[in-house]
Amino acid sequence: MNAVTRPALGCVGQPRLLAGLDTAAYLDRVGHLTVHGALPPYPADALVELAEGIDLRGRGGAGFPFARKLRAVARSARAAEGRTAVVVNGSEGEPSCLKDTALLLHVPHLVLDGALLTAAALRAEDVVVGVTREDVEQSLRAAVAERGPAGSRIRVVRLPERFVTGEGTSLVRGLDGGVARPSGQKVRTSERGLGGLPTLLSNTETYAQLAVAARLGAAGYRSAGLPTEPGTILLTVGGSTVVEVPTGTSLAYVLDLCGSAPGQGVLVGGYHGRWLDPGAARSADLSRTSLAALGAVLGAGAVLPLPEDTCPAGEVARVARWMADESAGQCGPCVRGLPSLAGAVEDLVRGGGRAAWEAVDARMRAVRGRGACSHPDGTSSFVASALAVFPDEFRDHALGSGCGRRVLGALPLPADENPERLVVDWTLCKGHGLCVDLLPDIVRLDADGYPAQGVMPVPGRLRPKALRAVRRCPALALRIQE
């Protein structure tokens, strides 16, 4: 998915998680200890007290208090003969998120420190890191090897690169050797997780933050950020730049730092997140309280500004279709509901009128609260939020006039490894324009009514329509090129 994407790095103020990367691209074990120092031991009670003292929340999306997870696993362990496990979720299956990738590629020892600190406090036998990228796997294995005997208890497991791989039960099933799909059961991993053991599962940034806090202490950690939400956070801006900022930093300032602006709006929290209109984006601070007041959550830290020159409706349709294709394929709302929702959004964008608008609303209501995991809910909320923030654009498309802008792919999606291409033979093309009726996301016409480009990539999902366009061209001016 992001297999060749290596994020650019930046920071506001003094970096903590990304400390040392101003002079080195990678911190090996020696470099890590030089920058951060040795990791002090923390008994279970002291670790819980530390997590509470800094109000450490999970950084993978849900924001669940880490101290409560620790207590829950310890409580469940007493009924399981004291056996526990620790799992690090480094799967990061969304193309708009790269912060965990940045940590595991550049400072993996910080993540391992946090995981081992937690394992020691819980007396966990297994420490397992789940990843999906080959380069991340190699980076982690090298870091584990550098730790010698101390790293022998750490396993690194590579799983399929899918959006749903990172869901808790999906990750655990994959690490246990099964298919990485959500179980659909309401069982907490703190009660029954890896190998049936009580398991503390959190994402890479959470463990890295814990490792920083263990060295600084609660008071030192709280010296950055807001008093009510201390510390720093990692953001992925525009799907390409990972920035560490203190909580409470202005969203507009971070966008400006990354050479961007609110544009037509900003998607916060990734593809299960919410859109902010430009005014809200300019007033927002990067904190739970500020974003909650605007109806948004930071989630996994993805921040995606939408440039002025792309079509909002077309961008949303692209993502809705990709989200439907990322279904786990095991429950009705995902297998049937999300493709139907994506199709309804595409119909609306193509000018389906009021009927298409009503179909989108009906499809959203049909999937909410009915999935085996949160994927249907998150996808429908993403679409609903877009309809609320871009009502004029969707209305113009529904009525057939459109917004006049091309879809530039500002919302990152995985690129096809070997995309086919739709090729125009200019010696035959007569400018009939039938191809644009079938392929509005690929073909755009110039001022004279001819295709604006002679070679256009064809995503795999649009290949059937591209073949129809080839067959329908009266001048036989189109062909598909491998």
CATH number for position 432: 3.30.70.20
Instruction: Look at the chain and report how many structural domains it folds into.
Output: 4
CATH number for the domain harbouring residue 33: 3.40.50.11540
Copy the structure tokens of residue 253: 């300032």
Q: Are residues 341 and 367 in the same domain?
A: yes
Residue 119 shares a structural domain with residue 203: yes
Q: The CATH number of the domain where 260 resides is what?
A: 3.10.20.600
- Do 16 and 61 lie in one domain? The reply is yes
Considering the domain architecture, whether residues 368 and 245 belong to the same structural domain is answered as no
Q: Are residues 165 and 241 in the same domain?
A: no
Instruction: Indicate whether 316 belongs to any domain.
Output: no
- What is the CATH number for 391? 1.20.1440.230
Claim to verify: residue 114 and residue 207 sit in the same structural domain: yes
CA-derived radius of gyration, the chain = 24
In a domain, 240, yes or no: yes
Where do we find the tokens 């077309």? 314
- In the sheet that 85-90 helps form, which strands lie side by side, from edge to edge? 154-158, 126-131, 85-90, 199-203
Residue 334 has what DSSP assignment?
I
| 274 in the same domain as 207 | no
Domain span at 12: 8-221
Asked if residue 64 is part of any domain, the answer here is: yes
Q: Are residues 90 and 195 in the same domain?
A: yes
In this structure, is residue 413 part of a structural domain? no
- CA 57 to CA 118: how far, in whole Å? 15
Asked whether residue 389 falls in the same domain as residue 473, the answer is no
Q: Is residue 340 part of a domain?
A: yes
pLDDT values of the chain reduced to their tens digit, one per residue, 482 residues? 444 468 899 999 999 999 999 999 999 999 999 999 999 999 999 999 999 999 999 887 778 899 999 999 999 888 767 889 999 999 988 888 999 999 999 999 999 999 999 999 999 988 999 999 999 999 999 999 999 988 888 999 999 888 888 888 889 998 999 888 887 777 788 888 898 999 999 999 999 999 999 999 999 999 999 999 999 999 999 999 999 999 999 999 999 999 999 999 999 999 999 999 999 999 999 999 999 999 999 988 999 999 999 999 999 999 999 999 887 777 778 888 999 999 999 999 989 898 999 999 999 999 988 877 888 999 999 999 999 999 999 999 999 888 888 888 899 988 655 567 889 998 899 998 888 888 876 887 877 889 888 888 787 667 778 888 999 999 999 998 86
Residues 384 and 429 in one domain: no
